Structures are given as structure tokens and as C-alpha cells.
Amino acid sequence: MRLENKVAVVTGSASGIGKAIAEMFITEGAKVVYSDISEIPGFVESENAAFCRTDVSDSTEADALIAFAVEKFGKLDILVNNAGIGPTAELTATSDEMWNKVLAVDLNGTFYCLRSAAKYMKDNRINGSIINMASIMGLVGFRMASAYCAAKGAVNQLTKVSSLELAPDGIRVNSIAPGVIETAMTKDSLENPDARAYILGSTPLGKLGEPNDIAYAAVYLASNESKFVTGSVLYVDGGWTAQ
């Protein structure tokens, strides 16, 4: 098993990509703390899985999440910063509230959890792996998504800077940038025939991604197989950004 004896925190793991990552990590031998802003219906705690309700946009809750993982499972080797929101609106219709909320969760939340995990790993000399969830929207522009694009672009820069600072401590920091993945977050857009046709037509492989496509990438970046990989953005997008 590729993550045997590892302990991981996965934020935003109630559904979609985060849930797929958490489940695959457990399959690969890790102990996982699931984290989300709401309780997970039907969640059953086990020797390999625990839940910690967390609002990552609150730095004190982000710190408490990392502390919970260490208390529950004895250490922390892996952090996956997956929690995110993506409301859409035209630029001129984007309210202060929407803008601030997206950056609070998608950017600030990533920073708070990364900072807390990095401090723990440094202090305890753990050669950990921190994985930030970016997006193709951090590289290319999308109409109706100014806040989300800005946040994800910043996540990529945060990944690069933190990877440089943490490299001397043996802590790796990378991003995964998904293309369009079929999840609850993309459901409304994908139910629009015109939008679905546009997305499929813009994806060279001609199909949508699945949550497990991202989970496989996360396992690679969390495992020792990627021990010489840091500061990278791994695009899992069906070829979208190759154009």
C-alpha cells in the first residue's frame, strides 16, 4: 500500500473530489481525518477515519483541525487543501460579499491550513506532503468566475513560494489543477446542454473528468513516489491547458 503508516487531513471531504481522495488514501493504507464545514451524513468513525467539522476560512479552526489530527492519530504526514466554493457572476455583478467569501475559503483557507500543517511538520521534523487544490481556472480565464480564477491563481503562487521555503525541511508542496470534473459543484453547469457541449468541445480528450482522476494524482503526490517533486502544478484536465 502506497500510503501505509501515513496520516492525512483532507479538507472539503464530505463529497466530490475530497471524498474520493479521502477514500482512496484509506484504501492505500493511510489514516484520514475528513474535514468539512458541515457534518457528513452517515459518516462512521473507524480506526482509519475520523471527522472534524472545520470552517477553513477561520484560522483558529484551521489550527484546531491540525491539532485534532495529531491528537487522534499521533502525527500528520499529509495535508490536502481541497475545501473550496465557486459561485458564479459577471464581474460587474460580483458583490463584495461574494468576492470576499470566495477568497476567504479558497485562498485564505488554503493558507491557514498550509501554515498550521507546515509549522507542525517543521517542529516535528516530518518530511510531509502538502497538496493544494488549484484549477485550470488558475491559469486560464473563465467568464463569470473572476473571484474563483483570482483565488486559484493565487493558490498556485502560494504553492510555489511555500515549496521554496519548506524545501530545506524536507516538506513538499504541490498543487493539483483539475479540469472540469463531474461533481455536485459542477452539476448545474453540466445540466445546461450548451455549457456541456462547450466544455466537451474544449477538452481535447472529449470527456469529463471523474473525482477518482484527481484522487489518483493526490495519491501520487502524497506518496514517496513523488519524493523529488515540489513546487509543481499537476494539471489533470483532459488536455484543456495544452491548447
Active site residue 120: no
Q: How far apart are the first and last CA of the chain?
A: 36
- pLDDT value at position 192? 87
Of the candidate CATH numbers 3.20.20.70, 3.40.50.12500, 3.40.50.720, 2.60.120.10, the domain formed by 7-242 belongs to 3.40.50.720
Distance CA 106, CA 66 (A): 18
Q: Could you state, in order of their start, the residue ranges of all structural domains in the chain?
A: 7-242
- pLDDT value at position 175? 98
Cell numbers standing for residue 129: 506532503
Distance CA 186, CA 166 (A): 34
The single-letter DSSP state of residue 233 is E
Distance CA 117, CA 11 (A): 12
Q: Which of 112, 120, 148, 235 is catalytic?
A: 148
Cell numbers standing for residue 121: 511538520
Distance CA 97, CA 144 (A): 16
- pLDDT value at position 227? 98
- pLDDT value at position 174? 99
Main-chain dihedrals φ then ψ at residue 177, nearest 5 degrees: -115, 95
Residue 116 is which amino acid? Answer: S
> What does the pLDDT profile of the chain (243 residues) look like in tens digits?
999 999 999 999 999 999 999 999 999 999 999 999 999 999 999 999 999 999 999 999 999 999 999 999 999 999 999 999 999 999 999 999 999 999 999 999 999 999 999 999 999 999 999 999 999 999 999 899 999 999 999 999 999 999 999 999 999 999 999 999 998 778 777 888 988 999 999 999 999 999 999 999 999 999 999 999 999 999 999 999 999
